[in-house]
Structure formats: structure tokens, C-alpha cells
Amino acid sequence: MTQREEDPRFGAPTRREVLKTGAAAGVSVAVAGGLSVGMTQVAHAASDTIRGYGTTTVQLKDWSLFNESTGLTMEFTPTDANMGNFMRDVTVNEVGDTHDLFFTDGGTQYKLGPEGFYLVIDENHPELALWERTSDNYKRGYITQTPDGTQYGVPMVNNADSFGYWPEAIGVNPNGLEEVSWQKLFENEEAKNRASIDRNWLLTMPEVAFYMQVYGKAEIVDNANLTPEEAKAVGDWAIERKQAGQFRTFHTGFEEQVQLLGNKEVDIINCWEPATKNVNAEAGADVVRYAYTVEGYFKWGIGAYIPTQAAERDNLNNIYKALNYFLDGEYRAYQAIERGYGGPNLDLGVKYAEEVGWPADQVAAVDAVQKKVDTKYEKPFWENLNPDHQEAMEEEWQRFLNA
């Protein structure tokens, strides 16, 4: 039996099947508030503009760097990290008609690759000059390939997620080096009604399940791939914590993370590391911290994927030139400094920082990013964003939200 036959993820609809049900699906989507991308997409001709679509944090804060280095112009449509919405936009709303590159968490290629929504990466493309020197640790595996080894993605950034916190409010060392338990987020009496968790079931439910697994609160085999029974147990426990008044709010986006933490509306929040960097940029250096945890992390990586429609637009050379830029030093150095993210070819990032004359502490900070990520990876982690029983997990999370 092949992986494709074994894996229920491959039971997903094909592009043709999706389109066949498009009329009825369209009704449902329209009832829910309209298509987010719209049905007026038209294919655009090849140009020096690269149109990107995906998770907002892969962006450079100043895209002019990209423009100057590549001679291309980046037009970026940012999204949150909701993989379901992303897959809907790719499959139903056909966002590939108008965009040249997708940027999203690893895992979508399991479904969208074999179903014909992504192009296979041409590893020998002349514009992808840095591919050869990129470590297999980055370019192979869960983020960029399918189980049969087909290469659909190019690695962009990676990290291990936990939570941000105000040290004095939850009673831990403000130097940020102390390992903090997830208990502070989920069961801490001091943080009662002072904690916020992400409303997205795909991100938060595995975290709750992980905590329950580690402390024996439920029998859970894989916290990122819950069975319906396990999902119910997680839902029950989360409802218990909700009714105990643990959570002040359930946030949705990056901006909300920054605002909740920055306004001190909450003391602890499961968020993206860049949120703590944004708060510190306004409130002062290291006033909030991003946790090294006692138990483990959500490991993730974002890849770049080429929509199938791009093959018909004659701008593949430009697309590969952009992909090569993301493997190079300038992008790596800025992602390290601005977001705290690691990624492939960090040595080129350090080299870039030195060559353009960044201060020694910033060069060191670039170098330190990978050590930080590697330190986190020594702990237990999970990385699956494509669970088998998505409907059951989402429904149990709804039960929690509605309780």
C-alpha cells in the first residue's frame, strides 16, 4: 500500500471535483459572507512584479530591499496563519490565478501538491543558484516535500512557538532564560482571567492536548493529530478551564496579539515571537519575553510554493529569482533581526550583516537566532498542521467556544 492510499489526507477533492461542486459551495461561501478573494480574478501577464500571497510574517518590513537586490517588485497579499482558509482560497477561490507565489506553513503540499495546485520545484533551475548549498535539513522533509519525496516547496523561515509573557506578572525571572511551564498559560491561578489563547483550533488545540498529554490528564497518542475521542477529552478539559475563568479573551490575528500584550490587557498569551518583538520595540527592550518552555514546542516552518497557474504566465524565471533571494543572506539576516526567525543558509545571513557593516551586537543576534531555534528543538515538539480528523477537532473546539 502506498503512502497515498494509507493517508486519509489524500482522500481530499481534486481541483475538478471542487469545481464540480463549486455552485453549491459558492452558495455556502456566499451565505457566510462572500468570497474573500472574489470571483473576478483574471490571469495576469508576465511582468517584473511578483505577487505573493500568504502568512504575513514572512514579509520583509521593507520590501524595497528585495526590489533593489532582485530588480523585481513584490506585491504581497498578507493572510493570517489559518491553513483552512488558505486552502480554501487556493482550491475554491483559485487565488493562483492572480498570484505567483504562496507562502504558508508546511503541510499543505500533502494535499495541494498531488491534487495539482502546486508546481513541482525545478531544483536545477538556473535562477535557483543557492539550492545546491542549502542544507537538506531545511530543504527536505515536512515543510517542503510530500511523503514520496516530491519537492513542492522552498524553505523560508522556521521557529518553535510557545507564548509571550510579562515576567513579573507571572512570577518568573525577567532575563527570559528561565524555562516556563505551559501551566502558566492554562492553569495558573495568578494568571486567572489574565491569559489569552489563539481562537484558531489548529494552533491552540494541539497545545492544550500537549499539556494534557505531558501531565497525564488524558490518554493522547499524538497531540497534533487527535482522534475524535481525544479531541472530545481536550474539549472537555478546555471548557473546564474556560469556566474556571482562566481566559480573558480568545485572539485571532497578529495585530491583536501585539495589542493585547502591549496594552497589558493580558499577562500571558500564546502568540508568534514577532509579537513580543513588536511590543518590545514600543514598550522598551525585553520588557516582555517569549518563553523557553519546560515541556516543549510547536515546531513550524513556512515554505514558498508556486501555483500551477504560474506555468502559463511566462514569469517562472522571475519566480525562481525571488525564491533564490529567500535563500540568500539579506532575507535571512532581516528575518532574524526583525522576527527572530531562523531558516536556511544562516551563515549567509551573518556574512551579509558583516559585509554591510551592521553593529557587532546585531551580527551576533543574527548568529544567535539559529542557536535559539536549535535549543528549542532539543525539547519535544510537534509539527503537524494537517490532522486526519479536522472536522472532529474543529467541532470540539466550537463546543469549547460556545460553552
Partner 1 sequence: MANALVSGGVRSWYTRAASGRWTVPAFIIVWTVVVIVPLFLLLLYSFLETKGFKVVWDPSFHTWDRFFETGRWTVAMRTLRIAIGMTVIELVLAFPFALWLAKGCRSQGLKAILLTLLTIPFFLDLSSRTIIWRALLGSNGVVNTVLMELGITSEPVEWLIFTEFSVFFGLAAPYFATMVFPIFLVATLIDDEYLDASRDLGANPLQTLFLVIVPLCLPGVIAGVVFTMVPMMGEWVVPQLMGGGKVNMIGRSTEDALSTLNYPTAASLSAFVLAILVALLAALTLLTRRRGGVAGLFEALKL
Report the residue number, 94 or 396, with the smaller CB distance to partner 1.
396
Residue placing its CB nearer to partner 1 in the complex, 184 or 251: 251
Residue 341, Cα to own-chain centre: how many angstroms?
11
CB of 11 to partner 1, least distance (A): 4
- Are 182 and 379 in contact, with CB atoms under 8 Å apart? no
Q: Which of 55, 70, 91, 109 binds partner 1 (CB under 8 A)?
A: 91
Asked if residues 286 and 365 have their Cβ atoms less than 8 Å apart, the reply is no
Report the DSSP pairing between strands 164-165 and 289-290: antiparallel
Q: For partner 1, which residue of 51, 184, 241, 251 counts as binding (CB under 8 A)?
A: 251
| Cα end-to-end distance, the chain, whole Å | 42
Q: How far is the CB of 85 from partner 1 (least distance, A)?
A: 5
Smallest distance, Å, CB 278 to partner 1? 15
Q: Locate cell 504560474: which residue?
A: 310
- Is the torsion defined by CA of 231, 105, 136, 121 positive or negative? positive
Minimum distance from residue 202 beta carbon to partner 1 (Å): 8
Residue 183 Cβ, how far from partner 1 at the closest point, in Å?
Answer: 22
- The least distance separating partner 1 from the CB of residue 263, rounded to whole angstroms, comes to 6
Question: Could you tell me which of 68, 84, 111, 73 has the C-alpha nearest to residue 29?
Answer: 84
**Residue 44 or 199: which CB sits closer to partner 1?**
199
Strands 247-251 and 195-198: parallel
Task: Please give the Cα distance from 101 to 154 (Å, whole number).
Answer: 11
Torsion of CA 9, 15, 18, 19, to 10 degrees: 180
**Among candidates 215, 219, 335, 221, which has minimal Cα distance to 277?**
335
Could you please report the per-residue DSSP string of 142-176? TTTB-TT--B-EEEEEEEEE--EE-HHHHT--TTS
Secondary structure (3-state) at 56? helix
Q: Which of 3, 64, 137, 263 binds partner 1 (CB under 8 A)?
A: 263
- Of the two residues 338 and 395, which places its CB atom closer to partner 1 in the complex? 395
Q: Which residues pair with 180 in a beta bridge?
A: 293
Report the chain's C-alpha Rg in angstroms: 21
Based on CB atoms, which residue is closest to partner 1, 154 or 203?
203
Half-sphere exposure of 280 (CA within 13 A, CB side): 20
Cβ contact 325:127 at 8 Å: no
- Give, as ranges, the residues between 8 and 27 that touch partner 1 (CB under 8 A): 8-9, 11-13, 17, 21, 23-25, 27
Residues in the chain: 403
Kindly give the interhelix angle for 346-355 and 360-377, rounded to the nearest 10 degrees: 170
Q: Which of residues 163-222 bind partner 1 (CB under 8 A)?
A: 193, 196, 199, 201
Nearer to partner 1, 76 or 201 (CB): 201
**Count residues contacting partner 1 (CB under 8 A)?**
49
Nearer to partner 1, 83 or 346 (CB): 83
Binding partner 1 (rule: CB under 8 A), the pick from 81, 87, 212, 346 is 87
The reply on whether position 388 binds partner 1 by CB under 8 A is yes
Residue with cell 511590543: 279
- Given 207, 230, 330, 396, the residue binding partner 1 (CB under 8 A): 396
CA-wise closest residue to 197 among 214, 216, 213, 182: 182
**Contacting residue, 99, 111, 289, 376, with partner 1 by CB under 8 A:** 111
Please select the residue that binds partner 1; options are 67, 85, 150, 181, rule is CB under 8 A: 85
Query: What torsion, rounded to 10 degrees, do the Cα atoms 90, 340, 122, 382 define?
Result: -70
Closest separation in Å from C-beta 255 to partner 1: 8
- Indicate whether 116 belongs to the interface with partner 1 (CB under 8 A): no
> Does 3 contact partner 1 by CB under 8 A?
no
Q: Which of 39, 64, 71, 84 is in the footprint of partner 1 by CB under 8 A?
A: 84
Please report how close the Cβ of residue 138 comes to partner 1 at its closest, in angstroms. 28
Distance of closest approach, residue 39 Cβ to partner 1, in angstroms: 15
CB closer to partner 1 out of 17 and 355: 17
Determine which residue in the list 3, 64, 317, 398 makes contact with partner 1, applying CB under 8 A: 398
Contact residues: partner 1, CB under 8 A:
8-9, 11-13, 17, 21, 23-25, 27-29, 31-33, 82, 84-85, 87-88, 91-92, 111, 193, 196, 199, 201, 248-252, 259, 263-265, 388, 390-391, 394-399, 401-403
